[in-house]
């Protein structure tokens, strides 16, 4: 088994990299994101923007300012998983060979991060996917994601290092439980082994689901803290909106139902009361009654399979 903390050899030729950016009315965020990719620099870089039926001028602006960006127009909002699948399906059909980075449109990629991620994949045969350290764009010293944790018995799913100072945490690479879809890089052959994303998740949960499927197929996910991405957190739904709380709880319940054995459900019931109760208490403490109620509405609607 390879050692994830081992240093990457210098002088390696860059691997082919396709970056998939799903966009929905993200015209204000695209300039920062696409500029950072253009200025990376990365020799073997291909950028694909999937536009989910934007009503703003995202497509026209991108064609004018970034003519090298490939644009796939869906004509409707397929959300994160569905939009990414449009590009992933095309890459699979092309028999594309290289690495693929799923990247949020509200991100900025500092110079050198793409190379650190691809090198880490090349250097670690056990890794089928890698993630960078992700910091808040408005405060790059503060961490939003430093690896994903999944409680196999408790069903608790969370970010490591959230709201901690980046300079105080370890920079060694390590294997993790799940990679966030904000910036998730996979080997192209993962598409043939694991398949596409599950677009049955309306919003949230798709990345944890895909990570667990990678693990089930025999792969591992590597976290590379020396690769950094900046994230304008919750630019789409709002950081504490009731809609976000509702969708997260529904997706979380779907994830548990899909990946946890029925025999574990009695324990899960107890642990989830604590997990969801903790989130409810957090919103109540901050005076967000609607968000607190939305958590449990999402649970009930998922249990009853109510349409979104």
d(CA 102, CA 181): 7
The whole-number pLDDT of residue 11 equals 55
User: What are 143-198's pLDDT values in tens digits?
Assistant: 999 999 999 888 889 999 999 999 999 999 999 999 999 999 999 999 999 999 99
Distances (CA, A) of 151 to 159, 178, 210, 251, 255: 12, 11, 16, 16, 12
Rounded to whole angstroms, the Cα distance separating 59 from 29 reads: 13
Range of the domain at 178: 17-231
Domain match, 218 and 284 both: no
CATH code for the domain of 178: 3.90.550.60
Which residue has better confidence, 156 or 80?
A: 80
Residue 306, C-beta contacts closer than 8 angstroms, at least 6 positions apart = 300
Determine, yes or no, domain membership for 11: no
Print the SS3 string covering 148-190.
EEECCCCCCEEECCCCCEHHHCCCCCEEECECCCCEEEEECCH
Mean pLDDT to the nearest integer, 220-229 = 98
- 90 found inside a domain: yes
Name the percent of the chain in helix, strand, coil, to the closest 5.
40, 25, 40
Distance (Å, whole) CA 35 – CA 12: 25
Both 201 and 298 in one domain: the answer is no
Share of the chain above pLDDT 90, in %: 77
User: Mean pLDDT over residues 63-74, rounded?
Assistant: 98
Average pLDDT over residues 196-219: 95
> What percent of the chain shows pLDDT beyond 70?
94
Q: What is the pLDDT of residue 156?
A: 87
Closest listed residue to residue 167, CA positions, set 149, 142, 202, 136: 142
pLDDT at 306: 85
pLDDT at 240 over 90: no
Of 231, 261, 287, at which residue does a domain stop? 231
Does a structural domain hold residue 147? yes
pLDDT, tens digit, 9 for 90 and up, residues 83-94: 999 999 999 999
Answer yes or no: is 10 within a domain: no
> Domain for residue 237, yes or no?
no
Tell whether the model's pLDDT for residue 68 goes beyond 80. yes
pLDDT in tens, 111-146: 999 999 999 999 999 999 999 999 999 999 999 999
**How many domains does the chain divide into?**
2
Mean pLDDT score of the chain, rounded to an integer? 92
Residues 157 and 91 in one domain: yes
Residue 6 has a pLDDT of 52
Same domain, residue pair 176 and 39: yes
Residue 308 lies in a domain: no
pLDDT in the model for residue 165: 96
């Amino acid at each position: 088994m390879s050692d994830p903390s081992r240093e990457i050899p210098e002088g390696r030729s860059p691997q082919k990299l396709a970056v998939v950016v799903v966009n929905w009315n993200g015209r204000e965020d695209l300039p920062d994101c696409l500029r950072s990719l253009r200025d990376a620099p990365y020799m073997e870089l291909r950028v694909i923007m999937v536009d989910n039926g934007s009503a703003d001028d995202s497509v026209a602006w991108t064609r004018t300012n970034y003519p090298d960006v490939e644009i796939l127009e869906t004509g409707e909002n397929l959300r994160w998983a569905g939009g990414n699948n449009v590009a992933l399906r095309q890459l699979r059909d092309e028999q594309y060979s290289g690495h693929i980075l799923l990247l949020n449109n509200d991100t900025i990629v500092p110079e050198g991060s793409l190379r650190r991620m691809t090198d880490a994949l090349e250097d670690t045969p056990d890794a089928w996917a890698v993630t960078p350290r992700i910091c808040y764009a408005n405060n790059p010293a503060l961490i939003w994601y430093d690896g994903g944790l999944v409680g196999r018995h408790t069903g608790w799913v969370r970010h490591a290092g959230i709201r901690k100072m980046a300079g105080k945490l370890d920079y060694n690479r390590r294997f993790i439980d799940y990679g966030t879809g904000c910036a998730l890089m996979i080997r192209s052959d993962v598409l043939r082994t694991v398949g596409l994303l599950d677009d049955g998740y309306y919003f949230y949960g798709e990345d944890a689901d895909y990570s667990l499927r990678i693990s089930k197929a025999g792969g591992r996910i590597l976290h590379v803290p020396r690769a950094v991405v900046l994230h304008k957190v919750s630019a789409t739904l709002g950081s504490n909106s009731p809609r976000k709380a509702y969708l997260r709880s529904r997706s979380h319940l779907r994830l548990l139902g899909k990946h946890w054995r029925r025999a574990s459900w009695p324990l899960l019931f107890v642990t989830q009361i604590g997990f969801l109760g903790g989130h409810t208490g957090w919103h109540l403490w901050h005076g967000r009654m609607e968000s607190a109620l939305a958590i449990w509405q999402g649970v009930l609607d998922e249990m009853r399979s109510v349409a979104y």
